[in-house]
Structure 1
Amino acid sequence: MFRTFRGRLALMYVSLELGILLFAGLLLYTALSNRVYNEVDEELTNQATSLASSLEDTSSYFWSAHMSNFADHYAGAIQLISANGLELFRSDRSLIDRGGNDISRALGISFRSGRPAFASTESLLNKANVRVIAFPIYRDNRIIASLLLGHSTSDIRSVFNLMYLIGGILGAISILISAGAGYYMAKRALDPIQEITRIARAVAAGDLSRRLTSRAQEKEIGLLVRVLNKMFADLETSFMAQKRFTADASHELRLPLTILKGEIEVALRHPRSEGEYQQILRQQLGTIDRIQRIVNDLLTLARADAGQLELVQTPVDLSLLLQEVGQQHLILFDSQHVALEMDIEDDLEIMGDATQIERTMMNLLSNAFKHAPEHSAIYLSATAVKESVIICVRDEGPGIAEEQQGALFDRFFRADDARCRKDGEGAGLGLAICKRIVDAHEGDIWVQSKQGEGSSFFVRLPLHRAETAHQQRVSDVMDAAKA
């Protein structure tokens, strides 16, 4: 039992309770015993003072009569010792014999210092305990005798015994309650941990859909449950994405490899001329190029997911870059009678990797071209909005269904056949790469589309603030010079 956390916690509660009870009992005993001694000493002092006054005012020949009269109504022991050590009166067993050194020491103090001294025959809790006062008696300003009065404390012992009995019973009950409460509280606190252990084992066994349902009131447990549920959800998402990625990658690579294998098998069936072999090799080279593009794209996505996408951070003239990318697509667009309309503001500058930004725009324009019908137009615009630049690539194609737009930037995702590809070569990786590149530049990418009305892809990138501030300072200087 004590190997478990709840057993150790219960033991800790019991130990703490026992320590508190022992400390409280010791403190209570010290306070009560001091109080009892003070009250007994005060009573003995009053009685000894009264008797000593009578003896000092009376001739020593009549002391025996006074002592006898006092002893008749005094419940304790009385003893009178002269200054030379003779016993002048004793009503009971000798107090000196009962108390030993303590009584003798108190008697010596009363003779030497001339003030009362107190002593006890034994422990306060002993049944035969007697509290004794040694009180000096003066005659002509000198001590001639010392009065010993004893007071039995057996009644006090009875009270203390009763107090200890009640305290012991209450202490035992308190310890049992503390042990039960500690065990219950530990069990209640560990119930969510048991559920966490059970669900974690199920998740480790492969059931990634399991979630914690604990409704613990403790803030710490609730926070742990939420964090673990998020972790399980992320694990499920990551695992499903990995399975989908593996399946999609296998599917995309299987087709060109099958084609490549078939062409090679056909070429080896019978001897061919040099020209025929060259034609077959050129066809295989195109297939290998497609495989290489897919592998390169997968490598780019893997580096982006691992946070290792290398970006050369330099000032980029975005206006000029967009103009050049658009010019590079004019011949391709003209072959399908697709027009390119560009509306790009001047002096747009960002901080980033020009090669990766160019790759993003090439993918977006190529994607728009694949789905743009003949004799339509593609629009490329770039506008500064506050401290960002908004780039838009819009086509007049069939559009994208709303339920598909959320997964559009996932790898290997393809929209409906209605958005047919002119070349049929896409692997569904271009938009996923665009999103990783834009994210790496601290930007955003999104799509707006309605079926039958075309699609618009937007990219937001932060402007180069330092250059903007520099241009503003230059403008201010020029305005000041003109003034």
Structure 2
Amino acid sequence: MISQATSLSNELESSPFYFWSGHLGSFANHYPGAIQLVGANGLILFRSDRSLIDKGGNDVSRALGQAFRNGIPSFASTESLLNKGNIRVIAFPIHRDGRVVATLMLGHSTSDIRSVFNLLYILGGILGVFSIVISAVAGYYMAKRALEPIQEITSTARGVAAGDLSRRLKSKSQDKEIRVLVRVLNKMFTDLEESFQGQKRFTADASHELRLPLTILKGEIEVALRHPRSEEEYQQILRQQLGTIDRIQRIVNDLLTLARSDAGQLELVQAPVDLSLLLQEIGQQHLILFDSQNVTLEMDIEDDMEVTGEADQLERTMMNLLSNAFKHAPEHSTIHLSARTRNGSAIIAVRDEGPGIAKEQQGHLFDRFFRADDARCRKEGEGAGLGLAICKRIVEAHAGKIKVESKPGEGATFIIRLPLAGADPSHLKRLDNILIDPENGKS
């Protein structure tokens, strides 16, 4: 509109007054808005179809006055900019001989601007709705992806609770906390599976071990009741049954000891124990038994070794180890029992010259009911496979360690480390995971 007003004013300023009407009429033929020419005396010299002064009121009159006074273009609006009936007005002064002789007023409707703004509003609304939809969809998928590990955890936990203990979490979440939670839960599921499997094996093995002597006991009683017998025959049968009952009682007592250990109820009397004297006495008790089978017992026990614990339980441990060595020692062989002090600990070793233990079996040697030969039918006088498991629980209850060293064909050595009474804890800490072989001094 400014360029049009400038062009028309230049034509008027360069033309005589009597040509102004022609120029304004010609301009009005193609100009879409209102045209009005006001003289310096306030008279309307030309007007197209509408009166801009009457239309705009004070704002248009003020713009007209400023154009006359200041000699520069001035603008006004008849209503608000985006109102449907608004007209934008420019008051452009016409100069002649250095003074303002008239003011050209051009009015143009702002409906096209309003249409543009309306279109922008519509586009803005559409884009806003589109953005909300995209944000909602993206938020949904992001939330779903973020919750996938939680859903997997829930599903896996339900599966484990339903009895499928083999299920594990496979989430690869980038969230550090989720990864830590997944590792902890997987470890818990693994521990649960191992616990349940161990419980099943324990129940099956315990049932098997008790079923044989109970079957024997029942059979002997049934045979005894088939026909009357003499007093001597009944006494013989009862003595046989008493031996079977003793075996059942030993198995039950061993199971009770292991159950108390698992429950943390294996309470020990904490008292000073002369370990040297205890080992000498146990060795002496086995000399006659070993000699009956042409097996020699060699003892190398250091004097004045004292530990803190329960003498009966330590005696039970050593009896189990010596009995185990005797079962596997060939005739005319030697069993070695040694005990020495080293770095605040008593190192006890029981070594036999038997067939040895395979490497893959050594890790299970202290499991309940485990037998290196995996035999179910035991010879007369042999145990139920609980002795070494009990030894491990008793040694650990005394804050000690036990391990086995063996090679096939070279016998087996069971090594126990027990802290001496009043030993320096800093020394024991360095030996927590180290058992020293007293035969060669190697760790």
Smaller-chain TM-score bracket: 0.5 to 0.7
Hey, what does 1:370 align to over in structure 2? 327
Hey, what does 2:337 align to over in structure 1? 380
Amino acid at match of 1:191: E
Q: 1:77 aligned to 39, 43, 58, which one?
A: 58
> Per-residue deviation at 1:203?
2.9
Hey, what does 1:352 align to over in structure 2? 309
Amino acid at match of 1:345: E
Q: Which 5+ residue runs of structure 2 have no aligned equivalent?
A: 1-39, 43-52, 64-79, 87-109, 427-443
User: What is the alpha-carbon distance in structure 2 between the residues aligned to residue 76 and residue 238 of structure 1?
Assistant: 95
Q: 2:397 aligned to 432, 440, 450, which one?
A: 440
> Per-residue deviation at 1:358?
1.5
Hey, what does 1:342 align to over in structure 2? 299
Amino acid at match of 2:354: G
User: What is the alpha-carbon distance in structure 2 between the residues aligned to residue 196 and residue 408 of structure 1?
Assistant: 36
Say yes or no: does 1:315 pair with 2:315.
no
Q: Which 5+ residue runs of structure 1 have no aligned equivalent?
A: 1-65, 79-89, 93-122, 130-153, 470-483
Say yes or no: does 1:204 pair with 2:185.
no
User: What is the alpha-carbon distance in structure 2 between the residues aligned to residue 468 and residue 186 of structure 1?
Assistant: 53
- Number of residue pairs aligned between Structure 1 and Structure 2: 343
Q: Percent identity?
A: 78
Hey, what does 1:461 align to over in structure 2? 418
Say yes or no: does 1:331 pair with 2:268.
no
Cα 1:221–1:272 change in 2 (3 A) is same
SS in 2 for 1:198: helix
Q: 1:409 aligned to 366, 369, 376, which one?
A: 366
Cα 1:348–1:174 change in 2 (3 A) is farther
User: What is the alpha-carbon distance in structure 2 between the residues aligned to residue 388 and residue 128 of structure 1?
Assistant: 105
Hey, what does 1:256 align to over in structure 2? 213
Higher radius of gyration, 1 or 2: 2
Say yes or no: does 1:213 pair with 2:194.
no
> Per-residue deviation at 1:444?
1.7
Amino acid at match of 1:432: A
> Per-residue deviation at 1:251?
0.8
Hey, what does 1:138 align to over in structure 2? none
Amino acid at match of 1:391: I
SS in 2 for 1:316: strand
> Per-residue deviation at 1:393?
0.5
Amino acid at match of 1:324: E
CA contact (8 A) 2:345 2:423 kept: no
> Per-residue deviation at 1:211?
2.1
Worse-matched range after superposition: 270-279 or 421-430: 421-430
Amino acid at match of 1:235: L
SS in 2 for 1:266: helix
CA contact (8 A) 2:344 2:423 kept: no
User: What is the alpha-carbon distance in structure 1 between the residues aligned to residue 82 and residue 284 of structure 2?
Assistant: 110
Pairs within 5 Å for 1:393-408: 393-408=350-365
Amino acid at match of 2:271: T
User: What is the alpha-carbon distance in structure 2 between the residues aligned to residue 198 and residue 324 of structure 1?
Assistant: 60
> Per-residue deviation at 1:186?
1.1
> Per-residue deviation at 1:127?
9.5
Amino acid at match of 1:322: L
> Per-residue deviation at 1:169?
5.3
User: What is the alpha-carbon distance in structure 2 between the residues aligned to residue 435 and residue 223 of structure 1?
Assistant: 33
User: What is the alpha-carbon distance in structure 2 between the residues aligned to residue 413 and residue 351 of structure 1?
Assistant: 30
Give the TM-score taking structure 1 as reference length: 0.62
CA contact (8 A) 2:345 2:418 kept: yes
Amino acid at match of 2:58: A
User: What is the alpha-carbon distance in structure 2 between the residues aligned to residue 390 and residue 422 of structure 1?
Assistant: 32
Q: Deviations over 1:293-329 (max 9, x none)?
A: 0000001111111111111222322222222221222
Say yes or no: does 1:223 pair with 2:199.
no
Q: 1:239 aligned to 192, 196, 200, which one?
A: 196
SS in 2 for 1:350: strand
Amino acid at match of 1:232: F
Amino acid at match of 2:167: R
Cα 1:447–1:76 change in 2 (3 A) is farther
Larger proportion of helix: 1
> Per-residue deviation at 1:422?
6.8
Hey, what does 2:223 align to over in structure 1? 266
SS in 1 for 2:373: coil
User: What is the alpha-carbon distance in structure 1 between the residues aligned to residue 393 and residue 409 of structure 2?
Assistant: 28
SS in 1 for 2:154: helix
Cα 1:245–1:421 change in 2 (3 A) is closer
Q: Deviations over 1:144-198 (max 9, x none)?
A: xxxxxxxxxx99x979989977765555444333322221111101222333333
Cα 1:186–1:417 change in 2 (3 A) is closer
SS in 1 for 2:168: coil
> Per-residue deviation at 1:376?
1.4
